[in-house]
């Protein structure tokens, strides 16, 4: 091997090592435009949205402190506007950690039930200073974001955020797009969840921005509601027949959802969670 070649191989090797180290340290982060001045912020498998207005930015879930610091720097460079409002989708720490990064300029908003959980569980984030019970409209720079509480579903404090002019809805964890709900329905209220989805089906929007995975459309709300209803009906029948959870896993047939995300790994867990929920919400003879 001549010297030039040796040098080339060495440089290539060093570049590969640094690239590998970089890709291991940094989760994939990006900002993409959804429509108009509404953008999507990605941190690995987590997503939130933000709206840029002439009077400042309405941001949503900060995800975590590192992600929030990255986002803050990007917003400053790209838009040169401060975050005026920071709205939490629900209390779960994998979505709302790091809110303190924006707290110097932003009013932090969440559902009233979220505040006590954030305090009680010591979530590593800014405590919301403005809370609401049913509905609240955030207005900034001529834009409107309508926040609605639909009852309990994936938590007892999940809200949806409707960006009125953009006809877009940001909803986290309770309206997965062509994907199964998370694991065994932790912290979930199944029946109220189904009712929540029916309410969202009546809202005026075209674009669905979830907290995980690809963007969806309004019809995705109906699809996941039907999935929940079908799973509930099948599991309930087997629970009433006295079957064990392991037996129920073999009996339930949700084959038509096999093309959805997380089908193989979450279906057995969805069945476990559904069976546990239904067992604790019935009284056998």
What residues make contact with Zn ion under the rule CB under 5 A? 92, 173
Q: From residue 137, how far is each of 23, 134, 170, 197, 234 by CA, in Å?
A: 40, 11, 14, 20, 39
CB of 165 to Zn ion, least distance (A): 27
CB of 89 to Zn ion, least distance (A): 8
Round to whole Å and give the CA distance between 10 and 161. Answer: 52
CB nearer Zn ion, residue 92 or residue 143: 92
Round to whole Å and give the CA distance between 151 and 272. Answer: 23
Q: Which residue is nearest to Zn ion (CB)?
A: 92
CB of 1 to Zn ion, least distance (A): 55
Q: Which residue has the tokens 């193989």?
A: 264
CB nearer Zn ion, residue 95 or residue 249: 95
CB of 28 to Zn ion, least distance (A): 20
Round to whole Å and give the CA distance between 186 and 210. Answer: 18
Max CA distance (Å), the chain? 85
CB nearer Zn ion, residue 92 or residue 225: 92
Beta bridge partners of residue 108, listed in sequence order: 86
Backbone torsions φ then ψ of 177, nearest 5 degrees: -95, 115
Pairing of strands 168-171, 207-210: parallel
CB nearer Zn ion, residue 46 or residue 238: 46
CB nearer Zn ion, residue 74 or residue 94: 94
CB of 154 to Zn ion, least distance (A): 6
CB nearer Zn ion, residue 117 or residue 126: 117
Show the tokens assigned to 72.
Answer: 């803050």
CB of 260 to Zn ion, least distance (A): 18
Tell me if 136 sits within 8 A of 161, measured CB to CB. no
């Amino acid at each position: 091997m001549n010297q030039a070649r040796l040098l080339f191989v060495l440089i290539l090797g060093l570049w590969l090592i640094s690239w590998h180290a970089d890709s291991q340290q940094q989760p994939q982060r990006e900002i993409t435009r959804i429509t108009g001045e509404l953008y999507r912020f990605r941190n690995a498998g987590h997503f939130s949205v933000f709206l840029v207005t002439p009077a400042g930015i309405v941001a949503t879930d900060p995800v975590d402190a590192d992600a929030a610091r990255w986002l803050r720097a990007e917003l400053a460079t790209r838009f040169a506007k401060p975050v005026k409002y920071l709205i939490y989708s629900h209390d779960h720490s994998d979505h709302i950690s790091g809110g303190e990064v924006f707290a110097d300029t932003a009013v932090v908003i969440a559902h009233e039930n979220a505040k006590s959980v954030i305090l009680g569980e010591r979530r590593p984030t800014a405590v919301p200073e403005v809370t609401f019970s049913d509905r609240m409209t955030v207005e900034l720079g001529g834009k409107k974001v309508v926040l609605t509480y639909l009852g309990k579903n994936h938590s007892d404090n999940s809200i949806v955020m409707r960006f009125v002019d953009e006809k877009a809805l940001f909803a986290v964890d309770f309206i997965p797009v062509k994907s199964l709900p998370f694991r065994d329905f932790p912290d979930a209220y199944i029946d109220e969840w189904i009712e929540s989805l029916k309410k969202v089906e009546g809202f005026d929007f075209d674009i669905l921005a979830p907290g995980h995975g690809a963007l969806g459309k309004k019809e995705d709300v109906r699809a996941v509601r039907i999935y929940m209803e079908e799973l509930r009906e099948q599991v309930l029948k087997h629970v009433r027949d006295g079957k064990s959870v392991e037996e129920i896993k073999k009996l339930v047939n949700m084959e038509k959802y096999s093309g959805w995300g997380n089908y193989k790994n979450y279906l057995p867990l969805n069945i476990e969670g559904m069976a546990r929920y239904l067992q604790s919400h019935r009284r056998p003879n």
